[in-house]
Structure 1
Amino acid sequence: MIERLAMIGVFSGVLICVSGAVVADGSSQIPDLGPRPEFAPVDPVAAELGQLLFYDPILSGNRNISCASCHHPRFGTGDGVSLSLGEGAAILGAGRRVNPDNVPEQRIPRNAPSLWNLGAEGMNVMFHDGRLEADPAYEAGIRTPLEGDMVAGFDSALSAQAMFPVLSADEMAGHYGENDISRAVRLGQLSHPGGAWDLIAARVAEVAAYRQRFDEVIGTNEPIRFTDIGNMLAAFIRFEWRADDSPFDRAMMGHGDLPVAAARGQALFYGVAGCSACHSGWLQTDNAFYAIAMPQLGPGKAARFETHARDDGRLRVTGDPADAYRFRTPSLRNVALTAPYGHSGAYATLEAVVRHHLDPVTGLDAYDRSQIVLPTLAGAYDWVVMDDQVERDRIAAANDLAPVVLNERDLADLVAFLGVLTDSAAAAGRLGVPETVPSGLPVEH
């Protein structure tokens, strides 16, 4: 029998009440979550500048897509679709449509990840496969796909990751020959002098209003470098999408109780359901990598000379066969706002993706394709892997999760618990979407 009570504990030198689930023998089902998340102070001028850059299409090769096109607050800092259409498409969310005069080459291979709490200390692993992460062994302090071509000056892994989408032809750079940035990318001129990053920085510097705002942050007439743009974007993300005041936070700190169903779900999450083995700590992530037999759709993750449509996940970063089909544990903060779910956006609802976690291989075999949210792209064959039994068997064989047996009420309770991880104030936004941006280009609202 599970009983509810409040445990008094000392946390970071402060006496707090932790709302926990306790079993009959008196042992807590809620582990020590460690120190509360900390966030570096943010210069408000830098955050406001980053806000404008985030929503400004000036950073894209054809000046037609912004960071917000795939990471919009209307969709919980995602884009509301399973796999994005970036360059060559318009309109936010499920209504996104292809520009017939500039058709995308392919869908973006992975679901647009949410941006919640990426500015928290310790959140140093970026992207679904962790191909960018803080690493003091590297001169720039960050390990990235650029390896030796990575430049110093980014103030964090968050700052560096914010700038890689602009190098992707499918995301923001554009197709080869369409603009100076896409040509530089195709030629491999990225961080080099006069390369894609320098070209984007020069664009921004030419806008008087941006030049004035950068003067306030980096110093009058100091050259605007690409790294400065990344740092401003990181400041905005760190400020705007800090989510650490949910009903879960308040209950854990003794400022109220969770609803009954959510409290039961919390006990399951930290107990027999085993969710916290990976979704640990205050932000519910260990930033590690696991294979969970997630259904694979879309073009896959392959180099240009490869012809397969599979997504090997972490394997493409480490080269270790043991990392095949492993992907980073996402934070669950504001997860109720960020559908679709999974690195491939395979699941449309929280209930569906939780059900998959309880028995991944069965979930893969019985996957319902009707739930995907995919804007139409003529000629796209999205089911190459799922239609191939050999490929599905590979995904299933790599699975790390043992089945967990729960009843339907348990499942509903887990979903209720995930709902109380929502920070409504953060979801509403602090700076919000600007009406206009200094370039004068359209802002997607």
Structure 2
Amino acid sequence: MDDFLPFDPAQARIGQLLFYDKILSGNRNISCGTCHHHSLGGSDGLSLGIGEGGIGLGPQRRSGDGADRIGKRIPRNAPALWNLGHRSVHTLFHDGRLQISDIYANGFLSPAEEYLPRGLNSILAAQALFPLTSQFEMAGNPSENEVAGAIHDRIDTAWPILAQRVRALPEYGALFVDSFDTVQRPADVSIVEIANALAAFIGTEWQSFDSPYDRWLQGGPPLEPAAEAGRVLFFGKAGCSACHSGALFSDQDFHAMGLPAFGPGRTRGYDPMPRDVGRMGATDALEDAYRFRTPGLRNVALTAPYGHNGAYPTLRDMIRHMANPVGSLARWQPQMAHLPDIPWLRMADFVIQSDRFEMARQANVLDARPVRLSEGEITQIEAFLIALTGETALKRPLGRPDTVPSGLPVD
């Protein structure tokens, strides 16, 4: 489709292998696919993920033990990957810390600033580099491996180490030579080609525009009655489309929706509290506090739990919250969060809620306009959101590979 960035199919096939190859993690024990798995709609089914050091997949993933056990949960819900290759996408991550921009002459405004390499083919390629350098996502602790140790000095010093790991494998080397004009011999493979291959895979693999809603838009069969009533509510009385707009049902802007606070937070060096200030963490602007990027809604029925921290287990719960954030927050219970029990983290999981000053600060920032919805109307909006599920959403072009060139196990 013309609405999507063009990617080379041969490069996407390399990206498929890299996406599931744990060679890109510091300790070779986790891949991109671990937290964005085909069988889980491109996510992991957890409120807050278990990253580097964990064992297993999805809701059954556990925290590891001994010296390899995890030190904290991933602070935010693993976002799904649907349609991120759309040309309209200009901002990524829950806090928008990656944006298309010319400020550093590499095409992007990112945490790597001027150290992000040039030659990345898309914002998807830039995005792919950051989980690789995250201590708790894929890199590991500085004392454990050379990748994490290099990141401790400066973020860009780790990427050449990962590139060397990949190009040293004959199968990868040959694939890159055959598929990239910039690669004449395996030694030419850099982190740029690796990121571009991952982008080619993500950008093509997760395209999905064949839902009942799309058929209706194109003059096909009408939506089921409940979904049609939900569509009218979504674009009308309920006001959902004020933020969930455009082809991807996201304005790519930032809004404070008053979600329950829990988890380790995204602490900063000068702000060690276990809280998540959202967009403010990227901009340091007070007016951005507690605001998060509007998620797209295509295939949203496949990507529970919901919210930037996965606070709500079902679409109905999330719709209720969006309609009445204050009332829904008051009724929220910790057991609604899907957090595998980790004894040494249990005490910290909800500690932020005992800070009445922080809770008051968060409560004072709310962008949602309450709207009165009956249970029947919530059911109708839910039916419309389900109608955004692609018919082939669970039948992806490439899928999960059985094996990868490194020989490491595939989740």
TM-score, normalization: structure 1? Answer: 0.89
Q: How does 1:87-102 map to 2 (within 5 A)?
A: 87-101=52-66, 102=68
* Aligned residue identity for 2:124: L
Q: Which residue of 2 aligns with 1:141?
A: 107
Q: Which of 301, 325, 333 is equivalent to 2:266?
A: 301
1:201 aligns with 2:163: yes
1:409 aligns with 2:383: no
Q: CA RMSD in A?
A: 1.3
Q: Which has the higher helix share?
A: 2
1:429 aligns with 2:384: no
**Compared with structure 1, are the counterparts of its residues 304 and 100 closer, same or farther at alpha carbon in structure 2 (3 Å cutoff)?**
farther
The answer to whether the Cα contact below 8 Å between 1:261 and 1:417 also exists between their aligned partners in 2 is: yes
Distance 1:179 1:320 in 2: 35
Q: How does 1:223-372 map to 2 (within 5 A)?
A: 223-304=188-269, 306-372=271-337
Where structure 1 has 5 or more consecutive residues not aligned to the other structure, the ranges are 1-35
The answer to whether the Cα contact below 8 Å between 1:240 and 1:426 also exists between their aligned partners in 2 is: no
| Residue deviations 1:64-102 (CA, integer Å, cap 9, x gap) | 100011111211111000001101101111111122130
Give the paired residue count. 405
Distance 1:207 1:148 in 2: 30
Where 1:87 maps in the other structure, the secondary structure is coil
Q: Which residue of 2 aligns with 1:48?
A: 13
| Residue deviations 1:324-351 (CA, integer Å, cap 9, x gap) | 1000000000000000110011000000
1:221 aligns with 2:221: no
Q: Which of 76, 81, 95 is equivalent to 1:129?
A: 95
Moved more, 382-391 or 253-262: 382-391
Q: Which residue of 2 aligns with 1:389?
A: 356
The CA deviation at 1:391 is: 1.8
* Aligned residue identity for 2:277: D
Distance 1:84 1:333 in 2: 22
The CA deviation at 1:425 is: 0.7
Distance 2:386 2:18 in 1: 31
* Structure with greater Cα Rg: 1
Distance 2:58 2:43 in 1: 9
The answer to whether the Cα contact below 8 Å between 2:106 and 2:114 also exists between their aligned partners in 1 is: no
* Aligned residue identity for 1:232: A
Where 1:385 maps in the other structure, the secondary structure is helix
Distance 2:191 2:223 in 1: 45
Distance 2:112 2:238 in 1: 39
The CA deviation at 1:377 is: 2.1
Q: Which residue of 2 aligns with 1:168?
A: 134
Where structure 2 has 5 or more consecutive residues not aligned to the other structure, the ranges are none
The answer to whether the Cα contact below 8 Å between 1:37 and 1:120 also exists between their aligned partners in 2 is: no
Where 1:403 maps in the other structure, the secondary structure is coil
Q: Which residue of 1 aligns with 2:122?
A: 156
| Residue deviations 1:19-65 (CA, integer Å, cap 9, x gap) | xxxxxxxxxxxxxxxxx970122211011000000000000001110
The CA deviation at 1:427 is: 2.5
* Aligned residue identity for 2:286: P
Q: Which residue of 2 aligns with 1:211?
A: 173
| Residue deviations 1:100-125 (CA, integer Å, cap 9, x gap) | 13011111100001100110001121
Q: Which of 1, 9, 27 is equivalent to 1:62?
A: 27
Q: State, as a whole percentage, how many aligned pairs show the same letter.
A: 46
The answer to whether the Cα contact below 8 Å between 1:280 and 1:286 also exists between their aligned partners in 2 is: yes
Q: Which has the higher strand share?
A: 1
Distance 1:37 1:86 in 2: 36
Distance 2:113 2:5 in 1: 26
